[in-house]
């Protein structure tokens, strides 16, 4: 057993060296290994094992975000054989509709219902759980103000409009649009906890929060937005999603799609994220969005704000860490390590430009003269 572990350690050390990462080194991105079995476990289990062993306290790293930046920027995943779990995730995505109406509820229960207090302490004043826009912004509240304002400008929000928000979260956008642009809004969520708090936060405003799957809506609106929800739709449902939005949009209306995205087409999520953070999630590619929207919408504008998510995630982690004393009565140390791994590994991925955030503006039938936006 000792020889096997020693051999596994040498293999892992060799792989990490390609990203300038040292085992038990002294730099902020080096890994400190506490459990010798870590090496063989990660070689056999891939990304799922890497995350699970971190949650279990088998290893540490001073700056997880920088560690993942190095790993991703140097494409270390190509040097490790795919785990059985990753292969099974791929097979499941091909054989099943992992984002069916029934399975879509999984992410609501597993992630968004984990506790409103956690998100209240981690997010900004609007409780916007999506990438902020840091152009000219120095803090999280300002970045989310700028993002919400930019969305309103892109859909040409004005008094009297009726707007639909698919995946409204805790009501950040519908609340902002109603307060600042005097619109009427309907927000959809599949999370009971989100719906409850969003309704409280929007009390007294012309906002209707509904616990409803987007596929069950049969109404029309002047504009539609979907911010940070398309990641849960799934490639088998992209085309249907676009058609549902089209049916809900009045002629000439605008649809803004804000989504995390991948640089290449794939059909399943990372195994660790699928198991612990976003069950049944997946990120769209340019070609997948293009194919789904073809002959359904006119694409008016496509902006990439992906680099802004690095700063957003780091700000969320700063809030999470500084408020942990108020949270640890409800969550254990394993949860803390899981949530830290989630936020900081994603920050590293966005910093390495492995992940993107798109804001795409579509129109139903095209807008004469096009849509011009000052960003």
| Per-residue pLDDT at 85 | 43
Q: What is the pLDDT of residue 368?
A: 78
Per-residue pLDDT, 77: 82
12's CB contacts (< 8 A; 6+ apart) are 23, 39, 42, 43
Residue 53 lies in a domain: yes
Please report which confidence band the pLDDT of residue 158 belongs to, taking 50, 70 and 90 as the band edges.
very high
Residues 114 and 68 in one domain: no
CATH at 299? 3.40.50.150
| N-term to C-term CA, the chain | 59
- Taking residues 84-106, what's their average pLDDT? 44
Is 74 in the same domain as 130? no
DSSP three-state, residue 189: strand
Do 241 and 120 lie in one domain? The reply is yes
Q: Are residues 194 and 291 in the same domain?
A: yes
| 110-124, 180-194, 249-263, 310-324: range with lowest mean pLDDT | 110-124
The more confident residue out of 6 and 327 is 327
Claim to verify: residue 73 and residue 113 sit in the same structural domain: no
For the stretch 199-228, pLDDT in tens is 999 999 999 999 999 999 999 999 999 999
Name the pLDDT band for 83 (thresholds 50, 70, 90): very low
**Final residue of a structural domain among 46, 81, 116:** 81
Structure tokens at 37: 């079995």
- At 48, the pLDDT band (50, 70, 90 cuts) reads very high
Distance CA 250, CA 305 (A): 28
Mean pLDDT of the 62-83 span: 85
Select from 81, 112, 140 the last residue of a domain.
81
- Flag whether 371 is in a domain: no
Question: 104: pLDDT confidence band, cut at 50, 70 and 90?
Answer: very low
For 105-151, the DSSP string reads HHHIIIIITS-HHHHHHHS-TT---S----TT--SHHHHHHHHHHHH
Q: Which of 81-95, 234-248, 279-293, 326-340 has the lowest mean pLDDT?
A: 81-95
74 and 161 part of one domain: no
The verdict on 120 and 169 lying in the same domain is yes
Lowest mean pLDDT among 47-56, 102-111, 234-243, 307-316: 102-111
Three-state SS for 313-369 is HHHHHHHHHHCHHHHCCCCCHHHHHHHHHHHHHHHHHHHCCCEEEEEEEEECCCCCC
Residue 150 lies in a domain: yes
Residue 96 lies in a domain: no
Best mean pLDDT range from 98-107, 259-268, 301-310: 301-310
In this model, does residue 269 exceed pLDDT 90? no
* 69 domain residue, yes or no: yes
User: Same structural domain for residues 282 and 324?
Assistant: yes
Average pLDDT over residues 75-94: 54
Band (pLDDT 50/70/90 cuts) for residue 97 is very low
Residue 195 lies in a domain: yes
User: What's the pLDDT at 367?
Assistant: 83
Q: Which of 18, 48, 81 lies at the terminal end of a domain, its last residue?
A: 81
Average pLDDT, the chain: 90
pLDDT reported for residue 111 = 62
For residue 114, the model assigns a pLDDT of: 77
Q: What is the dihedral of CA 217, 220, 226, 230, to 10 degrees?
A: 50
Looking at the structure, tell me whether residues 210 and 279 fall in a common domain.
yes
User: Is residue 231 domain-shared with residue 110, that is, in the same domain?
Assistant: yes
What is the average per-residue pLDDT within 358-366? 96
Claim to verify: residue 14 and residue 60 sit in the same structural domain: yes
* Tokens read off for 223: 């504009």
Q: Which domain holds residue 42?
A: 2-81
| Same domain assignment for residues 77 and 204 | no
Q: Domain for residue 369, yes or no? A: no
Q: Does any domain span residue 56?
A: yes
Say whether pLDDT at 100 is over 50: no
Check whether 159 has a pLDDT greater than 90: yes
Position 346 scores a pLDDT of: 98
**Mean pLDDT (whole number) for 108-125:** 83
Question: What is the tally of structural domains in the chain?
Answer: 2
């Amino acid at each position: 057993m000792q020889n096997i572990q020693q051999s596994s350690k040498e293999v892992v050390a060799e792989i990490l060296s390609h990203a300038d990462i040292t085992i038990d080194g002294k730099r902020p991105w080096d890994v400190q290994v506490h459990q010798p079995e870590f090496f063989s476990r990660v070689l056999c289990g891939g990304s799922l094992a890497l995350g699970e062993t971190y949650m279990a306290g088998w290893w540490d790293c001073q700056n997880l975000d920088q560690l993942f930046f190095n790993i991703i920027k140097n494409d270390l995943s190509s040097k490790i054989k795919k785990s059985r779990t990753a292969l099974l995730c791929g097979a499941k995505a091909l054989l099943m509709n992992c984002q069916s109406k029934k399975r879509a509820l999984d992410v609501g229960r597993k992630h968004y219902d984990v506790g409103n207090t956690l998100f209240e302490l981690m997010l900004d004043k609007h409780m916007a759980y999506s990438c902020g826009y840091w152009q000219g912004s120095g803090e999280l509240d300002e970045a989310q103000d700028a993002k919400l304002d930019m969305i309103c400008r892109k859909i040409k929000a004005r008094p009297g409009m009726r707007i639909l928000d698919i995946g409204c979260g805790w009501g950040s956008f519908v609340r902002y649009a109603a307060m600042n642009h005097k619109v009427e809004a309907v927000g959809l969520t599949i999370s009971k906890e989100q719906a409850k708090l969003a309704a409280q936060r929007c009390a007294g405003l012309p906002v209707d929060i509904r616990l409803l799957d987007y596929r069950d809506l049969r109404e029309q609106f002047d504009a539609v937005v979907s911010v940070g929800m398309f990641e849960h739709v799934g490639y088998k449902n992209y085309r249907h999603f676009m058609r549902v939005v089209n049916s809900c949009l009045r002629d000439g209306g605008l649809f803004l799609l804000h989504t995390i995205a991948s640089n290449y087409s794939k059909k399943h999520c990372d195994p660790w994220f699928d198991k612990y953070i976003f069950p049944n999630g997946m990120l769209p590619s340019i070609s997948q969005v293009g194919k789904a929207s073809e002959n359904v919408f006119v694409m008016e504008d496509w902006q990439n704000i992906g680099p802004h998510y690095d700063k957003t995630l780091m700000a969320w982690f700063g809030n999470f860490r500084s408020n942990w004393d108020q949270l640890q009565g409800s969550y254990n140390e394993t949860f803390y390590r899981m949530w830290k791994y989630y936020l900081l590994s994603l920050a590293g991925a966005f910093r390495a430009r492995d992940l993107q955030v798109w804001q795409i503006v579509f129109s139903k039938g095209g807008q004469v003269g096009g849509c011009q936006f000052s960003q």
